[in-house]
Amino acid sequence: MTFILNLVTIVMYFFFSKMNPDMTVFGIPSTYLEFCFLGLSLQMIIGTSLATVCGSIYNEIASGTWSYLLLQFNFIEYSIGSTLAGVFLSSLSVFAALFLAYLFMGSFYVISIQEVMLVILLFLLILIAHMSISMIFASFTIYYQKNSGLVPLLYQLTITFTGIVFPISLLKGFPMIISRTLPLTYGLEALHSIVLADQNNWQLIVTNSMILLISSVFFGIVAIFLASKSITHSKKHNKVDWY
Amino acid sequence: MSTKKASTVIEEFQHSDLSTSFWMGFKATFYRNIKIIWQYKFTLFLGFVNTFAVASLFFYIGNLVPNQSISQDGYIVSSVTYIFAGSMLVDISTRILKKSMNSFTSEMKQGTFETLATQPFGLKKYFVSEITFEVFYSLVFSFIYYIPVLLIFPVFRGLNLSLLSVLSFLLVIVCVIFFFFSLSLLAANVTILVKRGREISMVIIGVMHLLSGSLFPLSLFPDWLRIIAYISPMTLAVQSFRLCLFGQGTLINGIVWGSVVMLILMSIIILILFDLTYKKIYSKIRYKGTMHEF
């Protein structure tokens, strides 16, 4: 299902790219398809890393397995394990969709080994940042025993305001502020610079990587603190599970 | 007791005088759902932000089109307005499907579906009541959410519509709603069998978005894909919706009446399919003992 969804999204923007949006106007040295391909391929993986911890814990609570899991794992182990599993599975479908898209749409990136390493590093930083955010939402789920609906909202904001399908230079005022508070904006900006530009803008890449690293650490610490409080609270009030 | 015997008992129960009438069950479903929604008041606010984000996405994409104008079916309109109109119709109508599927998936996850299946009200009536509620809920809240969004993005300002165009436009919308009501019924049927409601709705919505030409004119499709696109009733619906809004289209126009006929015809076919498959699917899941989703 995820594979079909990825493919459909890529095909939709492939046809939109046939309207020939001029990306050089925005200072992006590529065609529209090359530009949005990067963001679209990341979109599903980001969604998975954002939703996994929070969604899995909600399901565990609803089905009554959360109390048992608490005996076997700690929160961080559970978060990393479930995120990696989710991301691995969604990556498979994304790679398959990308392969088909490459095959039929003929859009290729030419990048060096050094740039591949940078892309992998950025990819990991983006994943960790979103996993940490998901851990924060998971702690709310543990405390309130409810699904807040914040994750789908954050996902929609991420799709819209991080420059996946249009350059963020189009944004002005409040939308620009939203954009700058979302980690994927920094990740995509650096990725676009590495993959699309002829010359790597090292200052931008290092700054954005540092922002991602610091925000991951910050969100991670906040998440661990909130989760431990929430777990203590749910144990104290004897409501680890719903049933 | 065998499955056949259990079915007979339930059917007899549903037709006895003690059975809940459709209207009473319908009211109970409405009342229960409003109580559930009220428990999640915060998500009502989130719904607005979500609508704003979706609308923003299409607004900014519209700005990327060269010359910022698109021509189709004899009218020329701003690309932002064009994309916004098509995407808004697809967004609002597909919410019905998404919400219905989410509702059935939750019932199965939480284990309340099994209880509902054994109620004297009858599962089929419950399907109709639940989806009618979701149609009502999706439309009311889409209306509430889109009013401020259209004030933020005044893309439809200055449109000149004749009375006939407005009436044709409203008829197209009613047909789209009826189509999604029937599609949700059939999809709910499939959901109880394969237990993947959210995923099914996401794929259907994705494919409809692509084929409807919400982001671009269908002339960009190759011929073979354009033929496939017209199999989806949403393609003609989006086209006639835009024609009524921007090209003074009325029911006299082939695209408009064509879309109305197609939507009604497809809705009837889907309803018949639902009726034909319902009993088989219900018996199958009871025979397999897969009422819940774990």
From A121-135, A191-205, B15-29, the region with the lowest mean pLDDT: B15-29
Query: With 60 as the cut, is the pLDDT of residue B1 above it?
Result: no
The CA–CA distances, whole Å, from A61 to A22, A36, A64, A68, A153 equal: 49, 38, 5, 10, 22
Query: With 80 as the cut, is the pLDDT of residue A207 above it?
Result: yes
Confidence grade of residue B11 (pLDDT, cut at 50, 70, 90): low
Q: Tell me the domain boundaries of chain B.
A: 22-288
Strands B69-72 and B75-78: what pairing? antiparallel
From A12-21, B5-14, B92-101, the region with the lowest mean pLDDT: B5-14
Q: Say whether B203 and A1 touch across the interface (CB within 8 A).
A: yes
Confidence grade of residue B12 (pLDDT, cut at 50, 70, 90): low
Average pLDDT over residues A150-165: 89
From chain B, the residues in CB contact with A22 under 8 A are 66
From A52-56, A158-162, A219-223, the region with the lowest mean pLDDT: A52-56
Q: What is the pLDDT of residue B261?
A: 94
* Nearest CB neighbour to A15, from listed B40, B57, B220: B220
What is the distance between the alpha carbons of residues A208 and A188, in angstroms, rounded to a whole number?
9
DSSP A114: H
Q: Say whether B216 and A15 touch across the interface (CB within 8 A).
A: yes
Name the residue among B141, B123, B179 with its Cα closest to residue B34: B141
Q: What is the pLDDT of residue B5?
A: 63
Average pLDDT over residues A68-94: 77
Of the residues A5, A6, A19, A184, the best mutation for testing chain B's interface (the one with the most B CB atoms within 10 Å of its CB) is A19
C-alpha atoms less than 13 angstroms from C-alpha of B36 in its C-beta half-sphere: 15
More confident residue, B149 or B108: B149
More confident residue, B264 or B41: B264
Alpha helices in A18-74 (DSSP H): 32-63, 66-72
From chain B, the residues in CB contact with A170 under 8 A are 60, 63-64
Q: What sign does the CA torsion over A60, A61, A62, A68 have?
A: positive
Average pLDDT, chain B: 83
Query: With 70 as the cut, is the pLDDT of residue A47 above it?
Result: yes
The CA–CA distances, whole Å, from A132 to A214, A240, B179, B265 equal: 11, 22, 41, 49
Q: What is the pLDDT of residue B294?
A: 45
* Nearest CB neighbour to A16, from listed B43, B207, B216: B216
Q: What is the pLDDT of residue B271?
A: 92
Residue B168: both structure tokens together: 């044709």
* Nearest CB neighbour to A156, from listed B50, B109, B196: B50
Query: With 50 as the cut, is the pLDDT of residue A102 above it?
Result: yes
Of the residues B78, B194, B210, the best mutation for testing chain A's interface (the one with the most A CB atoms within 10 Å of its CB) is B210
Size of interface A-B (CB pairs under 8 A): 88
The separation between CA B226 and the C-alpha centre of its own chain, rounded to angstroms, equals: 23
Q: Tell me the domain boundaries of chain A.
A: 2-236
Q: What sign does the CA torsion over A189, A190, A194, A195 have?
A: negative
Tokens 């990067």 belong to residue: A38
Q: Say whether B199 and A8 touch across the interface (CB within 8 A).
A: no
Query: With 70 as the cut, is the pLDDT of residue B85 above it?
Result: yes
Confidence grade of residue A66 (pLDDT, cut at 50, 70, 90): confident
* Nearest CB neighbour to A153, from listed B50, B63, B215: B50
Of the residues A159, A166, A184, A242, the best mutation for testing chain B's interface (the one with the most B CB atoms within 10 Å of its CB) is A166
Q: What is the pLDDT of residue A127?
A: 87
Query: What is the ipTM, given to two decimal places?
Result: 0.83
Per-residue pLDDT tens over the stretch B220-261 = 888 898 899 888 888 999 999 999 988 888 888 888 999 999
Of the residues A7, A11, A12, A65, the best mutation for testing chain B's interface (the one with the most B CB atoms within 10 Å of its CB) is A12
What is the distance between the alpha carbons of residues B53 and B146, in angstroms, rounded to a whole number?
11
Confidence grade of residue B8 (pLDDT, cut at 50, 70, 90): low
* Nearest CB neighbour to B66, from listed A22, A146, A160: A22
The CA–CA distances, whole Å, from A124 to A43, A49, B277 equal: 14, 11, 46
Query: With 70 as the cut, is the pLDDT of residue B284 above it?
Result: yes
What is the distance between the alpha carbons of residues B164 and B180, in angstroms, rounded to a whole number?
24
Which residue does chain A place closest to B46, by CA atoms? Answer: A153
Which residue does chain B place closest to A4, by CA atoms? Answer: B203
Phi, psi values for residue A178, rounded to 5°:
-60, -45
More confident residue, B271 or B125: B271
A89 and B CB contact within 8 Å: no
Name the residue among B202, B105, B223 with its Cα closest to residue A4: B202
Confidence grade of residue A178 (pLDDT, cut at 50, 70, 90): very high
Q: What is the pLDDT of residue B264?
A: 95
More confident residue, A199 or A220: A220
Instruction: Answer yes or no: are the C-beta atoms of B83 and B62 closer than 8 Å.
Output: yes
Neighbours of B287 (CB within 10 A): 12
Tokens 């676009």 belong to residue: A192
Q: Say whether B56 and A161 touch across the interface (CB within 8 A).
A: yes
What is the distance between the alpha carbons of residues B56 and B49, in angstroms, rounded to a whole number?
10
Q: What is the pLDDT of residue B292?
A: 56
Query: With 70 as the cut, is the pLDDT of residue B273 above it?
Result: yes
> Taking an 8 Å Cβ-Cβ cutoff, which residues of chain B contact chain A?
40, 42-43, 46, 49-50, 53-54, 56-57, 60-61, 63-66, 109-110, 196, 199-200, 202-203, 206-207, 209-210, 215-216, 220-221, 294
A172 and B CB contact within 8 Å: no
Query: With 90 as the cut, is the pLDDT of residue B171 above it?
Result: yes
Q: What is the pLDDT of residue A213?
A: 94
Average pLDDT over residues B269-279: 88
3-state secondary structure of A139: helix
Q: List the end-to-end C-alpha distance of chain A, in Å, as a whole number.
A: 31
Report A:102-141 residues touching B (Cβ under 8 A).
none
Residue B122: both structure tokens together: 């009858």
Closest chain B C-alpha to A68 CA, distance in angstroms: 16
From chain A, the residues in CB contact with B110 under 8 A are 62
From chain A, the residues in CB contact with B46 under 8 A are 149-150, 153
A194 and B CB contact within 8 Å: no
Average pLDDT, chain A: 83
Closest chain B C-alpha to A161 CA, distance in angstroms: 8
Spatial neighbors of B139 by CB under 8 A, at least 6 apart, are: B92, B96, B177
Q: What is the pLDDT of residue B155?
A: 83
Phi, psi values for residue B63, rounded to 5°:
-70, -15
Phi, psi values for residue B69, rounded to 5°:
-145, 150
Closest chain B C-alpha to A129 CA, distance in angstroms: 21
Q: What is the largest CA-CA distance in chain B?
A: 71
Average pLDDT over residues A62-73: 74
Rg (CA), chain A: 19
From A10-24, B9-23, B46-60, B243-257, the region with the lowest mean pLDDT: B9-23
Write out the H or E segment, with its range, that includes residue A17. helix A2-17
Of the residues B40, B64, B98, the best mutation for testing chain A's interface (the one with the most A CB atoms within 10 Å of its CB) is B64
Instruction: Answer yes or no: are the C-beta atoms of A119 and A194 closer than 8 Å.
Output: yes
SS3 annotation, B276-291: HHHHHHHHHHHHHCCC
From chain A, the residues in CB contact with B61 under 8 A are 16, 165-166
